[in-house]
Structure 1
Amino acid sequence: MSTRFRFTAPPSPRAATGRVAEVYGQLARDFGLRAPDTFVVLSSAPELLTGVWALMRESLIAGPGDRTGKELVALGVSLANRCPFCVDAHTMLLHATGDHALAERLARGERPADERHARVLEWGERSRVPGALDDGPYPFPRAHLPGYLGTALAFHFINRVVSALVGESLLPGGAQRLRPVRSLGGRALARTVRRTAAPGDALALLDRPEPGEAPAWAGGTPVGLAYAALLRAAMAGAGLLDTDDQDLVEEVLHDWDGSHPPLALTGFPDRRERPGARLALLAALAPYRITDEDVAAWRRPGHSDDSPVRLVAFDDSLVRLVAFGAFLAVDRLESTLGRAPGRSPARTPPGT
């Protein structure tokens, strides 16, 4: 699943060592791809890479619930967030589960024929709106909430990172839009996707949070510790903004109703005056709207030197700023989806 990157040049997976190499090893074993761009783009920040892999693995792959249902959640979230890369990826992964007819109905833009599948897909699509899922029952057993909700939150983060920093096309020339390519791609991943994965394996890659940091909705499963680890890693990016910019970004997220911003980006900070706040808010609300001009405006104040060392530092900082903005949106959703009383977007990672 090779595609181009936007704004950064991540380290080559062939050069990976330490925890990054271990993530790639688990990806190959449990996801069927050693180094998909979805994760390579985060590899300059190993704590972000391990956190998001752990959350995705422990929910989508090893968490409670049916894999087809969780793929439908990931697809619904990706549709709501307008992430064509992830929509195409999860259509292909539905082929890998063996649900070929379902995958093709969705590829044609049709509603699932099975009402249970339709409700799960709609649940994923509605999850972009804070509080929208608090009305009515879940479309899956309550015991499966950690798997389904963890998957939804993982992809609210992944969609935003991918839309900001990875190109739109899953395969060169948009080949994934061809039915034979979708089917063959899914079949190539089928053995891995249909294999049972042991919960908890990704936790060994993390700087483990305290059990009390895990959200209550995770029910003591590994999903909760993975979520807490990603929260810590992503919220550390707040330090890239000054206090005024942090306040502005968090105030906007606090009032966000889940809508996509208007074409004119009314109310967004001017890129010349507050480029960091603008980038963080775009990452949260409309990462597909980040432009070369937005990135260049943020780079100029502190990264005017074009030496290789400066460029590497800039890549790392941009990844961390995008992750911070993306996770503020996730945290806003989690505070309502998880029915966690009193939660609001945090300024700094817990325990620091």
Structure 2
Amino acid sequence: METQFRYVTPVPPHAATGRVAQVYAQLADDFGMARMAVFLTLSPAPDVLAATWAMLRESLLAGKASRTGKEVVALGVSLANRCPFCVAAHTTLLHATGDHRLAETVAAGGTPDDPEHAAMLAWATSRRGGAQIGPEHIGTALAFHFVNRMASALLTENLLPANLQKSRLVRSVGGRVMARTVRRRLLSGASLPLVADLPAGPEPAWGAGTSVGAAYAALRAAGIAGGELLGDAARAAVADTVAAWDGEHPPMGGAWLDAPLAEVPAGERAGARLALLAALAPYRVTDADVAAWRGSRPDEDLVRLCAYGAASAMERMETFITASALTGDGS
């Protein structure tokens, strides 16, 4: 049977309990879908699931800024990160905002007619600062630097069976079906109780005092905690490599991994390699990469290790995209 899930068996909604059930319920209410593959694949690690949902909800779904503009950011980041699953999803969600021409223009690599949308797209795809943006836009971009990596590593590219998402008609119809939910204005902060008891560091300066900033602090902490699955040498190799990363895609092939892994003990290399792939080239994660590290480890560990790589890259991207951004109220 065809499935979107590469390596993880999700917790099904009917069997979910505790934090997972609470996230699923809010997903159904606020996103209009009880089953979303990206969140289902995170469900073996409830804290990662809840923090990811909080980050996406508080940045993309809630707040004052235009949903259309934030969907342009989400789609632009997904295009830059080469995540076909998320590109298809957010093309459909742009259709749901009512701007069908904009959705297909961006998905096809074109430039929006509206100057503000064009500036948002240029900022999102450039991986650098330079636009007049607010916390909701920064949060949306960072949310998808995380989500894209998790989707690319753990899901197939098929948003719909038989790749039906490649049809413009299907995307348009899907958008119309979701239009009422997407065009609702949600109150900020409703997801924060789901992560209130989780560890979190300081809120970022760009989002201090906002629900987006609180959600980002929770996601960063939940993701980076996955580094505990690695030995000290492997964790240091990942941290040092990501800290030196220029934000661009690594060269084709695997030679770029040779230097970072050279000083890592042989028994730790598979984990370091998988975390680095999740951080810098998640679309290149293979069955062999997962099998070499995983052994008998549970789904939860795989989600957490990939989240460590994804969160490390998200933190690094934060330094780039906020470097020259002028933050405002996001409206």
TM-score (norm 2): 0.91
Partner of 2:282: 287
Structure 1 SS opposite 2:42:
coil
- 2:256 is paired with a residue whose SS is coil
User: Deviation at 1:117?
Assistant: 1.1
User: Could you list the runs of 5+ residues in structure 1 that have no partner in the other structure?
Assistant: 304-312, 341-352
Q: Which deviations, in whole Å up to 9, do the C-alpha atoms of 1:220-248 show, x marking residues without a partner? A: 11111111111111111111000001111
Q: Give 1:321 deviation, angstroms.
A: 0.2
On the 8 A contact 2:75/2:91 being kept in 1, the answer is yes
> Which residue of structure 2 aligns with residue 325 of structure 1?
309
Cα distance between partner residues in 1 of 2:158 and 2:65: 29
Q: Do the aligned partners of 1:214 and 1:225 also contact (CA within 8 Å) in 2?
A: yes
Please tell me whether the aligned partners of residues 209 and 228 of structure 1 are also in contact (alpha carbons under 8 angstroms): no
Which residue does the alignment assign to 1:206?
Answer: 195
Unpaired stretches in structure 2, ≥5 consecutive residues: 325-331
Using the alignment, how far apart are the partners of 2:49 and 2:174 within structure 1? 24
Offset of residue 211 of structure 1: 9.0
Identity percentage over the alignment? 54
CA distance in 2, matches of 1:40, 1:331: 24
Shift in CA distance, 109/210, structure 1 to aligned 2, threshold 3 Å: closer
Residue pairs, 1:69-84, within 5 angstroms = 69-84=69-84
Aligned: 1:262 with 2:246: no
Question: Which residue is 2:25 aligned to?
Answer: 25
Map of 1:169 onto structure 2: 158
Deviation string 1:127-165 (CA, Å, 9 cap, x unpaired) is 2xxxx31xx4x244xxxx110000000000000000000
Distance 1:98 1:323 in 2: 33
Contact kept in structure 2, 1:55 and 1:226, CA below 8 Å: yes
Q: What is the CA distance between 1:209 and its match in structure 2?
A: 6.5
3-state SS of paired residue (1:236): helix
Residue 3 (structure 1) shift: 4.7
SS across alignment from 1:213 = coil
Query: Take 1:339 and 1:126, find their aligned partners in 2: how far apart are those partners?
Result: 13
* Preserved contact between residue 208 and residue 225 of structure 1 (Cα < 8 Å): no
- Return the letter of the residue paired with 2:254: L
Equivalent position to 1:222, from 211, 216, 232: 211
How many residues get paired? 317
The 1:228/1:39 distance shift into structure 2, 3 A limit, reads same
In structure 2, C-alpha distance between the alignment counterparts of 1:41 and 1:179, rounded to whole Å: 26
Shift of 1:184: 1.0
Name 2:113's counterpart in structure 1: 113
| Segment of structure 1 superposing worse, 57-66 or 281-290 | 57-66
Alpha-carbon distance in structure 2 between the residues aligned to 1:182 and 1:189 = 11
Aligned-residue Cα RMSD (Å) equals 2.0
Q: Is the 8 A contact 1:96 1:193 kept in 2?
A: yes
The answer to whether the 8 Å contact 2:83/2:148 transfers is yes
Matched, 1:277 2:268: no
Structure 1 residue aligned with 2:38: 38
Equivalent in 293, 300, 303 of residue 298 of structure 1? 293
CA distance in 2, matches of 1:84, 1:163: 8
Taking the aligned partners of 1:103 and 1:97, their CA distance within structure 2 comes to: 9
Shift of the 149–208 alpha-carbon distance from structure 1 to 2, 3 Å rule, reads farther
- Separation (CA, whole Å) in 1 of partners of 2:142 and 2:164: 28
Distance 1:214 1:85, change over 3 A: same
Which residue in 2 is equivalent to 1:344?
Answer: none
2:318 corresponds, among 334, 339, 352, to 334
The whole-number CA distance in structure 1 between the counterparts of 2:76 and 2:165 is: 18
Query: What is the one-letter code of the residue matched to 2:90?
Result: H
Which SS does the other structure have where 1:260 is aligned? coil
Letter in 2 for 1:70: K
Tell me, in whole angstroms, the C-alpha distance in 1 between the residues paired with 2:292 and 2:29.
41
Q: Residue type matched to 1:230 in 2?
A: L
Tell me the equivalent position of 1:185. Answer: 174
TM-score w.r.t. the length of structure 1 is: 0.86
Conserved 8 A contact 1:55-1:223: yes
Amino acid at match of 2:165: Q
The match for 2:329 is none
Alpha carbons 1:208, 1:229 under 8 Å: kept = no
**Distance between the aligned counterparts of 1:76 and 1:171, measured in 2?**
21
Following superposition of structure 1 onto structure 2, how do residues 5-154 of structure 1 map, counting pairs within 5 Å? Answer: 5-127=5-127, 132-133=128-129, 136=130, 138-140=131-133, 145-154=134-143
Q: Which moved more, 1:103-112 or 1:184-193?
A: 103-112
